[in-house]
Chain A
Amino acid sequence: MNFNFKHEWIETNIGLMSVLTMLAISVGGLVEIAPLFFIDETIEKVEGVRPYTPLEQRGRDIYTREGCYTCHSQMIRPFRDEKLRYGHYSLAAESQYDHPFQWGSKRTGPDLARVGGKYSNEWHVQHLVAPRSMVPESVMPNYPWLLSTPLDISDTTNRMKALRKVGVPYSLSQPEYDANVKQFGETVARQLHIPDAQENLVEQANFGNYDGDPSGISEMDALVAYLQVLGTMVDFSKYTDDAFVEYR
């Protein structure tokens, strides 16, 4: 029979079977993800969202390196209980410069999408070094080495260049810088200029002194700088509660 012939033909041709298997399993992904790239209103138009400064971005790298995302999500869902605990629900716009995004799908610890400004730098440092000294019932591991490890800033520009390749508007040339000044304002645009990245990083770390130790720049400086900016870019008092319904 014709049908049987085809079936057997696939089963005995491993190359063809691989191709057909790939096609079959990619259908789900293509149908769910691909259209989002073409829908106009996926990303809300809000003011204030900007790419991370070099120091924040290095902190973010440490966040992913330490696997914080395995226990902490960064995605507040539009539910009443989440709003009461964490604040305004997350917008797609707020993670538009995240590569990879840190939405997460599981919470062992609390959501961190709006942790910025909620606690003092001092609390973050002490809590990361010894979580149970601040929250007795916590099951979070200790991260004492963040405080003692100097931040490796030598590859900062390369990391930013890599992010630029995937679409983050870090600038390399004068026209790109000018475009950033137009979009984000001069203060932010300066932070996004790759040739000045190391200088900017050192300046922000020394000025902020996030880890409480002014003598050097530790990984803690970077991570706390990142945590303190999370969810703080959009000023929600500028928007009515139904402004974002129009995007859905």
Chain B
Amino acid sequence: MSEQKLQSQTVQTTGHAWDGDLQEYNNPLPVWWVYTFYATVVFALVYWTIYPSWPFGKGWIGGVSDITYVNSEGETKTHSWNTRALFITDMNEAAVAQKPYFDKVAAMPYEQIAQDPDMSGFIISAGKSLFAENCAACHQAGGQGVIGFFPNLTDDDWLYGGSYEKLHETLVGGRRGYMPAFSEVLNGDQVDQLANYVASLSGIGHDADKAVAGDVLFHSETAACYYCHTNDATGRQDMGAPNLTDNIWLWADVPGARTAESKVAAIRGVISGGLNKGVMPAWSDRLTPEQIKVLTVYVHELGGGQ
């Protein structure tokens, strides 16, 4: 049928023939297509006139449309249309909507923010997204941390302190953990004795004789562990020296070790190798003071705040 239809029409050919008899029909484009094409041409002309488009000399044609925005000094400025000015406008609009909350955050003391029902709703939603983007990569989505790498923020144990002020200090300035490698000053037996003593502090299976010897070593000038971890091994938050008596572990993977021997071995590894990690970046350049304050309260409310 289509063949009949073709024959019934008088379609022109392009006029040239290959191999003597091969010819090509010259069908016109559909009318709707042609007019759509013309419409796009007209659209382009209008678009070029309104928005910045053609390069011209050492600059470009800015277009007839302007954009007015308010800069950080509060001055109203007008510039030929561009996305950077549009961005400022967008940021300003959002800032206006959030301003009452952030102003309150800036003005209120931490305790009051945490207790105010309206504000704690804001802290939970704003804090959650700030935490997810900036903190969760290390401390994980729920703040549970990763043993061996990043501390748990939901327990009661704090390396540098869990008060609002200390959390704020940590967020603003960052932290850097350090413990010397004791393999350089102690022999293998001594490290083993210390590890058994540290295990005994948390009630983990250990060799009692070695633990006694480790106790002496811990408080001796040879190892001088008490210097940072204190005499009763509860740690010093001003130095980031952890409490060794609470059975909460960060660097030695004690919970992941199955047998008492491997738990002691994990502690031994930390003592002999030391630590030159536990780096927390400083956030003062990346987040605003209000955002840091929101995060301070958010982290405090994760469960371990003091």
On whether the beta carbons of B58 and A120 are closer than 8 Å, the reply is: no
On whether the beta carbons of A133 and B146 are closer than 8 Å, the reply is: yes
On whether the beta carbons of B87 and A83 are closer than 8 Å, the reply is: yes
Give the 3 A-B CB pairs with smallest separation, nearest first: A35-B55, A120-B279, A248-B82
- How far is the CB of A206 from the nearest CB of chain B, in Å? 14
Decide if B108 is an interface residue (CB 8 Å cutoff): no
- How far is the CB of A114 from the nearest CB of chain B, in Å? 8
User: Size band of the B side of the interface?
Assistant: 35 or more
Decide if A80 is an interface residue (CB 8 Å cutoff): yes
Interface residues of B (CB under 8 A from A): 14-16, 52, 55, 57-60, 69, 71-73, 77, 79, 82-88, 90-91, 94, 133-134, 137-138, 140, 146, 149-150, 276-282, 285-286
Decide if A242 is an interface residue (CB 8 Å cutoff): yes
- How far is the CB of B21 from the nearest CB of chain A, in Å? 16
- How far is the CB of B79 from the nearest CB of chain A, in Å? 6
Interface residues of A in 1-20 (CB under 8 A from B): 1, 4, 7-8
On whether the beta carbons of B84 and A78 are closer than 8 Å, the reply is: yes
A123 vs B59: C-alpha distance when bound (angstroms): 45
* B16, B138, B286: the one within 8 Å of A7 (CB): B16
Decide if A126 is an interface residue (CB 8 Å cutoff): yes
On whether the beta carbons of A244 and B84 are closer than 8 Å, the reply is: yes
Interface residues of A (CB under 8 A from B): 1, 4, 7-8, 35-36, 38-41, 77-80, 83-85, 87, 89, 117-123, 126-127, 133-136, 212, 237, 240-242, 244-246, 248
Which of B71, B82, B84 is most buried by chain A, counting CB atoms within 10 A of its CB? B84
Complex contacts, B133 vs chain A, CB 8 Å: 84-85
Complex contacts, B15 vs chain A, CB 8 Å: 1, 4
- How far is the CB of B121 from the nearest CB of chain A, in Å? 19
Complex contacts, B149 vs chain A, CB 8 Å: 122-123, 126, 134
A242 vs B87: C-alpha distance when bound (angstroms): 10
On whether the beta carbons of A120 and B281 are closer than 8 Å, the reply is: yes
Residue of A nearest to B276 (CB): A212
On whether the beta carbons of B60 and A35 are closer than 8 Å, the reply is: yes
Identify 28 residue pairs between A and B in the complex whose beta-carbon atoms are under 8 Å apart, listed by A's number: A41-B59, A78-B83, A78-B86, A78-B87, A80-B90, A80-B91, A83-B91, A87-B286, A117-B281, A117-B282, A117-B286, A118-B286, A119-B138, A119-B281, A122-B149, A122-B278, A122-B279, A123-B149, A126-B149, A134-B137, A240-B73, A242-B69, A242-B77, A245-B69, A245-B79, A245-B84, A245-B85, A248-B52
On whether the beta carbons of A248 and B146 are closer than 8 Å, the reply is: no
Residue of B nearest to A246 (CB): B79
A84 vs B88: C-alpha distance when bound (angstroms): 13
Given A80-B94, A126-B149, A245-B84, list of 20 further CB < 8 A pairs? A1-B15, A7-B14, A36-B55, A40-B58, A78-B87, A79-B87, A80-B87, A80-B90, A85-B133, A89-B87, A119-B281, A133-B146, A134-B138, A212-B276, A212-B277, A240-B71, A241-B71, A241-B72, A244-B84, A245-B79
Complex contacts, B285 vs chain A, CB 8 Å: 117, 237
A126 vs B244: C-alpha distance when bound (angstroms): 26
Residue of B nearest to A117 (CB): B281
A216 vs B276: C-alpha distance when bound (angstroms): 17
Residue of B nearest to A120 (CB): B279
On whether the beta carbons of A119 and B137 are closer than 8 Å, the reply is: yes
* A8, A38, A77, A79: the one within 8 Å of B58 (CB): A38
Complex contacts, B73 vs chain A, CB 8 Å: 240
- How far is the CB of A137 from the nearest CB of chain B, in Å? 9
Complex contacts, A133 vs chain B, CB 8 Å: 146
On whether the beta carbons of A122 and B277 are closer than 8 Å, the reply is: yes
- How far is the CB of B201 from the nearest CB of chain A, in Å? 27
Complex contacts, A117 vs chain B, CB 8 Å: 281-282, 285-286
- How far is the CB of B210 from the nearest CB of chain A, in Å? 30
A240 vs B2: C-alpha distance when bound (angstroms): 69
Complex contacts, B138 vs chain A, CB 8 Å: 119-120, 123, 134
- How far is the CB of A205 from the nearest CB of chain B, in Å? 16
- How far is the CB of B213 from the nearest CB of chain A, in Å? 31
Residue of A nearest to B133 (CB): A85
- How far is the CB of B149 from the nearest CB of chain A, in Å? 6
Complex contacts, B88 vs chain A, CB 8 Å: 241-242, 245
* A35, A79, A80, A123: the one within 8 Å of B137 (CB): A123
A84 vs B134: C-alpha distance when bound (angstroms): 11
The answer to whether A242 and B286 touch (CB under 8 A), given A1-B15, A39-B60, A122-B149, is no
Residue of A nearest to B95 (CB): A80
Complex contacts, A40 vs chain B, CB 8 Å: 58-59
